[in-house]
Amino acid sequence: MNLRPMAMCSVIGLEMYHFEIYLEDIVMKKILLTLTGLFLFPLALMAAGQQVVDIDIEGMSCKFCAHSVQKNLTKLPYVEKALVNIDTKKAHIVIAKDQKANVEELKDKITGSGFTPVKVTIGSIN
Note the pTM of the prediction, 2 decimals.
0.61
Residues 6+ apart with CB under 8 A from 29: none
Read off the DSSP letter of residue 69. Answer: H
Do 34 and 63 fall into the same domain? no
List CB contacts of 44: < 8 A, sequence separation 6 or more: none
**Beta carbons of 112 and 72 less than 8 angstroms apart:** yes
Total residues found in the chain within this entry: 126
Residues 65 and 13 placed together within one structural domain of the fold: no
Check whether residue 85 and residue 106 sit in a common domain.
yes
For residue range 42-93, list pLDDT tens digits in order: 554 454 579 999 999 999 999 999 999 999 999 999 999 999 999 999 999 9
Residue 15 near residue 8 (C-beta atoms within 8 A): yes
Tens digits of residue pLDDT in 9-33: 455 555 554 445 555 666 666 666 6
Residues 75 and 115 in one domain: yes
Contacts of 42 (CB under 8 A, 6+ apart): none
Instruction: Give pLDDT, residue 123.
Output: 93
User: Could you give the CA distance from residue 57 to residue 66 in angstroms, rounded to a whole number?
Assistant: 10
Q: In terms of domains, do 93 and 105 share one?
A: yes
Q: Count the domains in the chain.
A: 2
The parent domain of residue 12 ranges over 2-47
Q: For residue 91, what is the domain's CATH number? A: 3.30.70.100
**Same domain as 55, residue 35:** no
Residue 3: beta bridge partners? 19
